[in-house]
A and B are shown apart, each in its own frame.
Chain A
Amino acid sequence: MKEYNFAYLDEQTKRMIRRAILKGLAIPGYQVPFASREMPMPYGWGTGGVQVSAAVLTPDDTLKVIDQGADDTTNAVSIRRFFQRTAGVDVTEKTGEASVIQTRHRIPEQALREGQIIVYQVPIPEPLRFLEPSEVETRKMHALEDYGLMHVKLYEDISQHGDIATAYAYPVKVEGRYVMDPSPIPKFDNPKLDMAAIQLFGAGREQRIYALPPYTKVVSLDFDDYPFQPTKADHACALCGSTTSYLDELITDDAGGRMFICSDTDYCATRVEDAA
């Protein structure tokens, strides 16, 4: 596709995005405003992630795109095709073979290694947004490290429900400074945020980029007497038998029959192949 620049965005725009990424890496967990562009897919469908991926991709990269852990969900297919068309990069479904992984709502089961980049699509980058709707106010709260509201919310959850009632997009504290939204990954994935790969978060509509350099200390918020607990369905995968991976629940008949399978399709398929 010659009508557009490599990876769609023009070089000036990529430079602007790379600067935001570098700033984000220098201040882990801080939300860097950037001049998000209209992309040929709708806002809310991964435009932030797509812009970040476009800015970091080189012709030698191998790209993997997942949505809900799966390579073959429709929006993952659409984004993968977009980069095949505009960047001509190699694509893969293998987590280990990818140099750049764009994801929506999951972190792969296989641990990422140094040299890899994982790009998260972020709908609402502001962890305090549903406690304080004003952006002017929340930016002030981050600047002053004023996170009392978040702790009160978690406390009220416990007093009302006996547990912290957040199951995904569970807030974390980065290097003891910024409270950050890890994007709507299930809290099961939160412990993996401490990793060897570079993690980049792109929110297109909200015009924010933030980042975690490798081996950044990321702590899920909790209380001493109510420690953070990553949870998953208490089953084994019906296909590969894994008891440690995150599971999707499927409804198999109209009598309420259930089946649980891995949400990470590459992880599951690899295990099935290895067993065969």
Chain B
Amino acid sequence: MYVAVKGGERAIDNAHAWLAEERRGDLAVPELTVAQIREQMALAVNRVMAEGSLYDPDLAALAIKQARGDLIEAIFLIRAYRTTLPRFGASLPVDTGAMACDRRVSATFKDAPGGQVLGPTFDYTHRLLDFKLAADGEAGQVAEAAPLHGPTPHIMGFLDRENLIQPEPAGETTPPDLTREPLELPASRALRLQALTRADEGFTLGMAYSTQRGYARNHAFVAELRIGAVAVEMEIPELGFSIEIGEITLTECETVNQFQGSKTQPPQFTRGYGLVFGMTERKAISMALVDRALRWAELGEDNLGAPAQDEEFVLYHCDNIQATGFLEHIKLPHYVDFQSELELIRKLRRDAQQMQEAAE
């Protein structure tokens, strides 16, 4: 007699053993070290840190190794680890004006105090496969300039001085914490930005791109894009003052968007903002565009019904860990639900057939 699928336990153990073997791949090829991933797959590490919401390059590299290079799986490992960490306090807001910039470009001004620094960018590379890299990946000696000292002022600040851009006064209250409280709508801008900074890069990119193509278009100029290290400071109650506890690399993007005005307000430029862990330029720009699109109500714009304007649509669908979990759960058994559907459809067809026969 046919026996229903049994032996779930043994199947799981065997699957995990096989997975471990596949992860290692051909034993004749040397094993990747976590340090190699951290150093040579740095942009993957950055994405895992950003969407995993945990700044730790070593753990992100480990997660990538364990996940066989599946970045969403790696992000998931980091998120699951992150929730178990105790919270011993909150840092002070980081000062991106004091960032030691590796890269700083503006699309709105040809030059500004602090200058334009291209930094290590793929921009202007010709996307030709470098076959030499297959044999020899060593980089030659690179010339170094003396580092700039002192703060690099934000380019938005220059527009702000002329009142050309809509002001952004500091908020009074501490923003809510998306990871500790349930998301309730309508969300504040602070909460939206929290969700967007760890949102899936692909989703955010798609949403941002849709605004460029006319779904709630608000033409964005990149006023400034900067990447570099900032100090993280924390107030220690026993000391009564703040001390630096570490340094993180961030990407910050500020956009200047179409001006708008009303009967009482003269026309002004408006802003979009993106801030993401690591060197994650595509994500930060996308975030700024989506942020701007979501601000339609506050800026008195029309709701055009565009997906990027719909806070509920964006916030409920931007998290790739939620999305992938729910998407992939449909491969779990659904025998029971399917069985009930089978019976229902058989009954409906039976009824329909009887009706038809009666009519004939």
- Could you tell me if A167 and B340 are in contact, using CB atoms closer than 8 angstroms? yes
Q: How far is the CA of A248 from the CA of B335 in the complex (A)?
A: 7
- Could you tell me if B335 and A45 are in contact, using CB atoms closer than 8 angstroms? no
Q: How far is the CA of A75 from the CA of B328 in the complex (A)?
A: 13
Partner among B11, B182, B325 whose Cβ is within 8 Å of the Cβ of A207: B182
- Could you tell me if A44 and B326 are in contact, using CB atoms closer than 8 angstroms? yes
A37 at the interface (CB under 8 A from B): yes
B298 at the interface (CB under 8 A from A): no
- Could you tell me if B9 and A248 are in contact, using CB atoms closer than 8 angstroms? no
Q: A43-B326, A123-B326 are in contact. Are A72 and B344 (CB under 8 A)?
A: no
- Could you tell me if B343 and A167 are in contact, using CB atoms closer than 8 angstroms? yes
B contact residues, total (Cβ < 8 Å): 52
Q: How far is the CA of A68 from the CA of B184 in the complex (A)?
A: 32
Q: A42-B325, A43-B326, A105-B336 are in contact. Are A231 and B8 (CB under 8 A)?
A: no
Residue of A nearest to B79 (CB): A38
Q: Can you list, as one digit per residue, whether each of A19-45 has a CB less than 8 Å from chain B (1) or not (0)?
A: 000000000000001111111101111
B299 at the interface (CB under 8 A from A): no
Q: Which residues of B contact A69 (CB under 8 A)?
A: 336
- Could you tell me if B182 and A36 are in contact, using CB atoms closer than 8 angstroms? yes
Which residues of A149-200 have CB atoms within 8 Å of chain B's CB atoms?
161-163, 165, 167-169, 184-188
B24 at the interface (CB under 8 A from A): no
Q: How far is the CA of A259 from the CA of B5 in the complex (A)?
A: 13
Name the residue among A38, A75, A104, A168 with the largest chain B CB count within 10 angstroms.
Answer: A38
- Could you tell me if A261 and B80 are in contact, using CB atoms closer than 8 angstroms? no
Partner among A42, A43, A188, A207 whose Cβ is within 8 Å of the Cβ of B183: A207
Q: How far is the CA of A105 from the CA of B332 in the complex (A)?
A: 11
- Could you tell me if B9 and A43 are in contact, using CB atoms closer than 8 angstroms? no
Q: How far is the CA of A67 from the CA of B327 in the complex (A)?
A: 18
Partner among B86, B334, B347 whose Cβ is within 8 Å of the Cβ of A10: B86
Partner among B82, B180, B340, B341 whose Cβ is within 8 Å of the Cβ of A188: B340
- Could you tell me if A105 and B337 are in contact, using CB atoms closer than 8 angstroms? yes
B89 at the interface (CB under 8 A from A): no
Q: How far is the CA of A73 from the CA of B336 in the complex (A)?
A: 12
Residue of B nearest to A36 (CB): B182
- Could you tell me if B182 and A33 are in contact, using CB atoms closer than 8 angstroms? yes
Partner among B82, B181, B335, B344 whose Cβ is within 8 Å of the Cβ of A38: B82
Q: How far is the CA of A34 from the CA of B184 in the complex (A)?
A: 10
Q: How far is the CA of A134 from the CA of B4 in the complex (A)?
A: 41
Residue of B nearest to A136 (CB): B185
- Could you tell me if A252 and B2 are in contact, using CB atoms closer than 8 angstroms? yes
Binding site for A on B (CB under 8 A): 1-2, 4-9, 11-12, 76, 79-80, 82-84, 86, 179-186, 312, 316, 321-322, 324-329, 332-337, 339-344, 347-348, 351-352, 355
Query: What are some 7 contacts across the A-B interface (CB < 8 A)?
Result: A38-B83, A44-B327, A69-B336, A70-B4, A78-B12, A167-B340, A231-B340
